[in-house]
Amino acid sequence: MLRTQVAIIGAGPSGLLLSQLLHRNGIESIVIERQAPEYVEARIRAGLLEWGTVDLLNEAGVGDRMMREGLVHDGFELAFDGRSHRIDLKGLTGQHVMVYGQTEIQKDLADARAAVQGQTLWEARDVVIEEFDGPRAKVSCVYDGKPLTIACDFVAGCDGYHGASRASVPKDRIVLHERIYPFGWMGILADVPPVSEELIYAHHSRGFALCSMRSKSRSRYYVQCPLDDTVESWPDARFWDELRARLPPHYASLVTEGPSIERSIAPLRSFVAEPMRFGRLFLVGDAAHIVPPTGAKGLNLAGADVRVLYRAIVEYYRAGSETLLDEYSSRALGRVWKATRFSWWFTTLMHKLSSDSFTHKLQLAELDYLRESRAASQAVAENYVGLRFAAP
């Protein structure tokens, strides 16, 4: 049997970030991951960071490369009805966001974990969390072909929607809220320069489109598609034609085509589980909540959970107080529901919801109101850069 202070289930960004922050505060952890490191590192996910997430990565000591290579953005474009309106994040809130891919964050965190020789159990199977209602918890798994048990003070479930952490909670103790959207995003990654230096969110009668980037030479583009579409039905030529058709002419003319290096269709959903604490077990990130990618809140919400949880654990070991641990779920969920509301609102505003002309006209009216109203644009900007954290 192994013994540690905190067992962290999942070696994605939230799990490794939590382990790094705990290490810098003298707290031991073991990270348990069911996949191989190459698989986790290769996952292509989010790329837009709220500045609070940037600050947290710097606090963890893993932000040097991000600060050198990340792209700081002061605004983004809303394109609709052949026009566009820039949301001036810096002017409206005094804050920025940063484009820096999750793949790069994963590399930085993995390097930091290796540098401190932190224990990570890769390809651990059949993970089960036990006794989390008692004074100590246990995590059992099969590692290197042998049964293994880890005794710990706390378990952080950072293992995503399909992981073992939430599944370990009895169904009568957890409430699940869900909204499934009737469309998906067909996305490609290509080594071509971006259409614009800032992100473009486009509303069009043919469907939503997003122009984003991972660097000054690598672009990430999306178009709304039916849920039953397949990647094979979207060859590159069709994708580029559809992307241009959904952009205002001045942006469409700037699209540089190139062969895709990654193609995928992502379904959209909103999901929240509550509470997020069960005795010694704490749910973090996608294990507790999922938002549609419109507005890029997923990774940032996971970072916010980590911020609340690591400070609560530090207080416990330094001061013997469980106050912040007791407040974890309510603090985290307060932010989760606000971000879920914004992601739902932004998704329903920008996507083609039906062939109903009434709905389409209402969307255009709201977008036009955003263009005319500083107050409305400021509300969007405040949510986009990330709402401020309440003390502590």
Cβ atoms 258, 213 nearer than 8 A: no
Domain tally for the chain? Answer: 1
Confidence at residue 389, expressed as pLDDT on a 0 to 100 scale: 85
pLDDT digits (tens, 9 = 90+) for 276-327: 999 999 999 999 999 999 999 999 999 999 999 999 999 999 999 999 999 9
What is the Cα–Cα distance from 110 to 106, expressed in whole angstroms?
A: 6
Q: What is the CA radius of gyration of the chain?
A: 21
Is residue 104 one of the residues assigned to a domain? Answer: yes
Q: Is residue 208 part of a domain?
A: no
pLDDT digits (tens, 9 = 90+) for 323-357: 999 999 999 999 999 999 999 999 999 999 988 89
Q: Is residue 173 domain-resident?
A: yes
Strand extents, DSSP E, 214-259: 219-225
Model pLDDT, residue 42: 79
Helices (H) and strands (E) in the chain, counts: 13, 19
Residue 392 has pLDDT above 80, yes or no: no
Cα separation, 135 vs 156, whole angstroms: 15
Residue at 204 is within a domain: no
Q: Is 2 exposed, middle or buried (0-12, 13-18, 19+ CB in 10 A)?
A: middle
Q: Are 277 and 366 in contact (CB under 8 A)?
A: no
If pLDDT is split at 50, 70 and 90, which confidence band does 363 have?
A: very high
Active site residues: 73, 201, 293, 297, 384
Assign residue 292 the CATH number of its domain: 3.50.50.60
pTM, two decimal places: 0.96
Q: 221 lies in a domain?
A: no
Q: What percent of the chain has pLDDT over 90?
A: 93
Q: Is the CB of residue 346 less than 8 Å from the CB of residue 295? A: yes
Establish if 17 belongs to a structural domain.
Answer: yes
Domain that holds residue 168: 2-71+100-178+269-346
80-118 residue pLDDT tens:
999 999 999 999 999 999 999 999 999 999 999 999 999
pLDDT tens, position by position, 29-51 = 999 999 999 989 877 677 899 99
Q: DSSP characters for 270-326?
A: EEEEE-SEETTEEE-GGGTEE--STT--HHHHHHHHHHHHHHHHHHHHHH---HHHH
CA dist 367 and 344 (Å) reads: 15
Question: Helix, strand, or coil here: 374?
Answer: helix
Within a domain: 141: yes
**Are 18 and 156 within 8 A, CB to CB?**
yes
| List of E strands, 2-136 | 2-9, 29-32, 48-50, 71-73, 75-80, 83-88, 97-99, 119-121, 125-130
Polymer length in residues for the chain: 392
Would 362 be classed as within a structural domain?
no
State residue 268's pLDDT score. Answer: 96
